[in-house]
Structures are given as C-alpha cells and as structure tokens.
Amino acid sequence: MSKTLDRVRAHLGAHFGTEPDVATITFLGAEPVEVLRFRPDAAGLVHYVSLGCSRHPMVDPTEVVADPARGPRAEVVLRLRDPGPASGLARSLAVVAASPAVEGVVLAADSLIDLGAPLWARPSGRAPFTAVLLGRSDIAELALEEPCDPVRFLSATPITATEAAWVRLKGADAMREAWDSDGVDVLDPNRPAAQPN
C-alpha cells in the first residue's frame, strides 16, 4: 500500500477514533480499492469510506500529459443509519472510488455518479438507490507533501433514478433544497424518493 494511503488510513482512524472493518475490492486492470466500515457512532450512523482513490491524482482524460503529483485527490464517504445486512454496498462504493482510474472521472462536490443498478440489496429486496450525489463531508482534508494536492473526503448521498434525473435537470443544490423542504432524511436507508416539483 502506498505511503499516501497509509496516511489516509491513519487520518481516518484519528477522525473516527476506532478501527474499521475492511473489505478489499478488485477490478480487472485497476489497483484494488478498500472500503472501510466504521461501526455505528453515538448517532447510530455507519460510515463507509473508500481507500484507494487518493493513491493517484485525478486527471482530466483530455489532458495530454498527466502530472504524477499535482491534481485533486479524494476518497468517498457514504454514511447511513445502520442499514443492517446490505450486500453489495462496499462494491458500489468501490466502483465510485475507482471511476477516476477506470473511466477518467474527476470526483468533486456536486458530481452525480450513476451506477445504473441498485447500490445494495437486503433480504427484503433491492435498495431503490442507483446513483450517488457527491458533496463535502465533515472529515477534514489531509495535507500531503508539496507539490501534491490535499486529499479531500467527499460525501456520497444515495439517490434514486428519479432524483438523479432531477439533479441532471435542476442541479445538485435544487435537489438538496427539495430534500430540506420535503423533510427527507437522506441518511435513512429506508427513505422514500423525494418527489420534487
């Protein structure tokens, strides 16, 4: 594991004050991504955090020459009120985290990443969420040695196909405003889709 990822892991351990459960996800032709699962905190929230996206800076695929040090770095944080047994959630988060390396996507706040399939499944059925809306998380960014950019931690809010269409049409801020006005708890894994007008 790279020195950068060792520092990210230590940074996350200091933030949460506990050791996570770890799942390693591998993709053909790409470096593995770990998903760290931090158990429920005092508010009952489970945090899933990618570890591997920040290994290299994210680069725009249209750039002729990629700088091996400069460029934005990020990891993705998904938090939910304890979803119970949710198979596939770690893999879905790893797909989002691997998208810069696999598809040349630059992850940033307000980005919509559509996986086109349920993010997880439970014994009672599949979750209605098929995409994530990225935003800023409450985890402080991690400074790296110059000339490297810091590692930012982006929140990933699970959203439905209907909500994803709304984000494409109206934008991320409009979706968040609709959640607020409808009283939608986006941390609830059992929440219904918002019905914005």
| Per-residue model confidence (pLDDT) at position 27 | 87
Give the separation between CA 121 and CA 55, rounded to whole angstroms. 29
Give the pLDDT band (50/70/90) at residue 127.
confident
What pLDDT score was predicted for residue 177? Answer: 94
pLDDT at 1 over 60: no
Q: Which of 21, 31, 42 is nearest to 86 (CA)?
A: 21
* Closest residue by Cα to residue 74 from 115, 33, 131, 37: 33
Return the pLDDT at 69.
74
CB-CB contact of 37 with 23 (8 Å):
yes
- Residue 25 tokens read as 């996800």
Domains of the chain by residue range: 3-182
**pTM: predicted TM-score of the whole model, two decimal places:** 0.92
* Residues 64/21, Cβ–Cβ less than 8 Å: no
Nearest CA to 124 out of 84, 164, 154 is that of 84
pLDDT for res 30: 83
Q: 56-96: per-residue pLDDT in tens?
A: 999 876 665 666 778 899 999 999 998 778 899 999 999 99
Which tops the pLDDT comparison, 190 or 142?
A: 142
Return d(Cα 134, Cα 143) in angstroms, integer.
21
Most confident of the ranges 12-21, 58-67, 188-197 = 12-21
Which tens digit of pLDDT belongs to each residue from 22-53? 999 998 888 999 999 998 888 899 999 999 99
The maximal CA–CA distance of the chain, rounded, in angstroms, is 49
